[in-house]
Structure 1
Amino acid sequence: MSAAFANDGALDRAASIYQDHLDCVSDLLFVGNIEECINYFALPLLIRTRTGETLIETRQDMLNDTRQHSESLNGHGVTNYIRLVKQARQLSETLIEGWHETYVLRDATSILPSYQSHMFLRDTGDGVWKVIEAEHELENLRFPLGSVKSKPGSFAETWQGTQGDIRVAHSNAEPLYRAFLDVLNKHQNAANFDGWSSQFQYPLEAHYDATDRVFNEPADMRAFFDAMLDLPIGEKGGVHRAITSADFISADRICGYHETTFEGSDAPAFGPVKSRMILTLTEGRWKCSSVTNSLSSDDAPPEAEFKPSSHLPTMSEIQKRMNKP
């Protein structure tokens, strides 16, 4: 345990757990034990900086990013990588919110101005507390370390407010995501465009196997909706969305995965199509603010005639091809 916790009686349980997590991950990063280090992070993981955010979805992406971080520390001759808890609070038995400050030193010289971070940790049930969301007072998360710029105060206004967190009452996002999919199915099977399109938040980002577009208003989605109605479903068929998984990636967002199949009277008419939706809680309602489908086409939407694809691009892949920060 860190020397900062020699007098453990002066610290509450949340701060102790949070600091223990920081110390463990820092030590593993420093010695380059990447495989063990990433076990302390949940997937999907939302990371936010001053200039944007990244959703890490796969273990391989987590390995790559963490390895870059570790190699950068050693490559710049860092002798002290210190992260100290500033404040932490227990939101529930399985959820802790905390803030900490990071110091990156080579002997007594600061390589990077200190910066603060805000993280949520969840007890996964096996005694391991994992990061489920993080934001850092940084310009970006690019490596090597010399490219990283700290921006103290970036989230000062956001961090001042005390916000309710739906994850206190709902530890499992799957029932909410499943209920959302059921509503989509109901409206789609009833050919109710208004009801179906009202489940989305505009402008809506839509991504496919290799293309991307933005729907600015419901009318922009009409051609896509009509194309689904034109599939040879038959009287006894219909659209079916089967949930794969869903997780909270912030207090007001869910990242969910499912497969969509258009069932014919006797056999599947189209699909399955792998999908990922980001749901955002807007004025008390969950709406889809981003959707990705494993569909490919030789043409650009909306004129495209889509075909199922085996590839569902990750949000990291999409950011790179769209040249987002």
Structure 2
Amino acid sequence: MADAKPIYQAFLDETSELMWNQDYATYATRMQYPYRMRTAAKDTFNEVPEDSVACSRAFRENLTAMGAQAFHRICIQAEFETSNRIHGVHTTYILRGATELLPPFRTHLTLHFVDGIWLGGDVVAEIRNADISINAAPVSNVTSIKRAM
């Protein structure tokens, strides 16, 4: 079986660029629905592409408000769970120049190979929503669940 890390990193690079360049509609096509976005404080279920558009737009606007000039995600590990599913872990860096605006944080992401393309799935970010709004946008199916900190 092929090495999962280059596939995972290519997905991160592509979707990071789409989000950073505010191409939210194309970003939404790179996800498999439904999928769950989870932080320590909140779970959000994205049922349709419009949910991803809203969440990625809210996240990008949050980065802009913070003064971010760069957003990078670097694969730490990635492994095939099956021939059509990869589970990976990456570190996210949010920068202004060479200065970190937040401590780098880890995120777990599942990729699914569907109709010849890798699509993103469930996301678990190891950061508090109080530090950055990752899944703060309202979604079509109001199924967000607040978690105890």
Aligned equivalent of 1:113, options 84, 97, 103: 103
- Unaligned runs of 5+ residues in structure 1 are 1-11, 150-312
Q: Which residue of 1 aligns with 2:136?
A: none
Percent identity, aligned pairs only, is 28
Distance (whole Å) between structure 2 residues aligned to residue 60 and residue 119 of structure 1 = 20
Distance (whole Å) between structure 1 residues aligned to residue 143 and residue 25 of structure 2 = 25
> Structure 1 residues 123 and 74, CA, compared in 2 at 3 Å: closer, same or farther?
same
Which amino acid in structure 2 is aligned with residue 20 of structure 1? A
Higher relative contact order (CA 8 A, sep 6+): 2
User: Runs of 4+ in structure 1 displaced over 6 angstroms?
Assistant: none
Q: Which residue of 2 aligns with 1:203?
A: none
Normalising by structure 2, what TM-score?
0.84
Post-superposition offset of 1:324: 3.5
Larger Rg: 1
Q: Which residue of 1 aligns with 2:128?
A: 139
Which amino acid in structure 2 is aligned with residue 45 of structure 1? Y
2:41, 2:146 within 8 Å by CA — same for their partners in 1? no
Q: Is the counterpart of residue 92 in structure 1 residue 92 in structure 2?
A: no
Q: Which residue of 1 aligns with 2:117?
A: 128
Post-superposition offset of 1:74: 2.9
Query: Which structure 2 residues correspond to residues 182-261 of structure 1 after superposition, within 5 A?
Result: none
1:122, 1:132 within 8 Å by CA — same for their partners in 2? yes
- Write the deviation string for residues 70-90 of structure 1: whole angstroms up to 9, x where unpaired: 222233332221110001111
Query: Which structure 2 residues correspond to residues 2-151 of structure 1 after superposition, within 5 A?
Result: 13-125=3-115, 127-140=116-129, 147-148=131-132
SS at structure 1 position matched to 2:53: helix
Q: Which residue of 2 aligns with 1:222?
A: none
Q: CA RMSD in A?
A: 2.2
Post-superposition offset of 1:318: 4.4
Query: How many residues matched?
Result: 141
1:35, 1:63 within 8 Å by CA — same for their partners in 2? yes
Post-superposition offset of 1:20: 0.1
1:30, 1:73 within 8 Å by CA — same for their partners in 2? no
Distance (whole Å) between structure 1 residues aligned to residue 59 and residue 14 of structure 2 = 15
Normalising by structure 1, what TM-score?
0.40
Which amino acid in structure 2 is aligned with residue 148 of structure 1? I
Post-superposition offset of 1:13: 2.4
- Unaligned runs of 5+ residues in structure 2 are 134-139
Distance (whole Å) between structure 1 residues aligned to residue 36 and residue 12 of structure 2 = 18
Distance (whole Å) between structure 1 residues aligned to residue 125 and residue 102 of structure 2 = 13
SS at structure 2 position matched to 1:26: helix
